[in-house]
Structure 1
Amino acid sequence: MSIVVRDVREHELDSVLALNNAAGPAILPLDAATLRSSFDSAEYFRVAERDGTIAGFLVGFGSDSGHVGDNFAWFRARTPAFFYIDRIVVASRRRGGGVGRALYADVQSYAELRHPHLCCEVLLEPGTDHALLFHGSFGFREVGQNVMHNGHRAAMLMKELCSYAWVRETYGDALPDAPWMPMPRAQSRMLAHRPTGTCA
């Protein structure tokens, strides 16, 4: 069956939370309030669906967001503009089946139109070599390491998004309205709640 990547729906947050907290030691646990905050504020929060069930998800924030976190702050102190992958999780039974690659292809397609760099981290724990190899195969390189407040050490990874400069020079802030190019979630919610008759 094919993999479908789409925006998460509010009623799916409990399933996403369970998926996250069953992912193992390489993924930090979440509580419902933190996940809800991500749903309300993340620029990108999408799930990968396979055989009618959620097989993975990815959450991301632009560098100008109000996101709070050790690793996000590390990148913001060193890089003027970027898109940050806060979390990617793939269900254990779906690992190796292309779900992670589908999510990364989708988030790169989104980010390269809006941000010059794509950033993330991998916890340097026993058994995470596969995650470093996965990211290396996508063109990420380590730009430093960060010791988080909880004592975990993370490899800080970055990838230059080569299309960004051309998109910026060609379109500026006025990207065309195309069905394959989703609007940032925060902007979508703002438009959805704008009173009728209000000027843009």
Structure 2
Amino acid sequence: MHLRPVSPADFPALLALNAESVRFLSPLDASRLAHLHAQCSWQRVLEDADGIAAFLLAFAPGADYDSPNYRWFAARGGAFIYIDRVVVAPRARGLGAGRALYAALFEHARAAGVAELTCEYDLDPPNPVSAAFHARCGFREVGRQMANGKQVSMQAASPGGGS
């Protein structure tokens, strides 16, 4: 698989992947994706022979982003990168696509001197696959909140460990 930055030409594929996993994510349309793309501090796609197999969008402090989860981390302060969404196509699940995206982001965070990588996953409704994945990557719970009608686990990891 080949890792590269996201470009606007990728938007149709990203929207389709997001729609396939929307039960774990917030809905996304072309306008919203264009806004997020402009605000992201780090965003990558993984391509395989069939096209985009996975993508990750992440934000640093100061982004114009209304996500209650991003704002929860921003209110804590500090140097962080918030992983807003990581989406893996069904054909690429279990093949290391998510791990490759996180490894590249951990490396970027280390090089940039970022203190923390942050994210959240659903507790209610439960998302045990995401919980196990994030634990393997070195994330730990730093809080909980209700956001968009879901109970979520707020997670953080040091870029010096995990990945």
- Could you tell me the TM-score, scaled by structure 1's length? 0.75
Which of these two proteins has the greater Rg computed from alpha carbons? 1
**1:109 maps to what in 2?**
107
Q: Which structure 2 residue ranges, 5 or more long, are not aligned?
A: none
Q: Which structure 1 residue ranges, 5 or more long, are not aligned?
A: 164-200
**2:40 maps to what in 1?**
42
Tell me: CA distance 1:97–1:127, structure 2 relative to 1, closer, same or farther (3 Å).
farther
**1:28 maps to what in 2?**
26
Give the ranges of 4+ consecutive aligned residues of structure 1 lying more than 3 Å apart after TM superposition.
none
Q: Distance in 2 between matches of 1:24 and 1:42?
A: 20
Count of matched residue pairs = 160
Give the alignment of 1:126-165 within 5 angstroms: 126-148=125-147, 150-162=148-160
Give the residue type in structure 1 aligned to 2:127: T
Q: How many angstroms does 1:154 deviate by?
A: 0.9
Q: Assess if the C-alpha contact under 8 Å between 1:16 and 1:57 holds in 2.
A: yes
Of residues 90, 93, 104, the one that matches 1:92 is 90
When structure 1 is superposed on structure 2, of 121-130 and 46-55 the one drifting more is: 121-130
Q: Distance in 1 between matches of 2:22 and 2:136?
A: 22
Tell me: CA distance 1:156–1:136, structure 2 relative to 1, closer, same or farther (3 Å).
same
Q: Distance in 1 between matches of 2:132 and 2:152?
A: 15
- From the two aligned structures, give the one with the greater strand fraction: 2
- Could you tell me the TM-score, scaled by structure 2's length? 0.91
Q: CA RMSD in A?
A: 1.5
Give the residue type in structure 1 aligned to 2:105: V
Q: How many angstroms does 1:12 deviate by?
A: 1.4
Matched, 1:67 2:103: no
Percent identity, please. 38
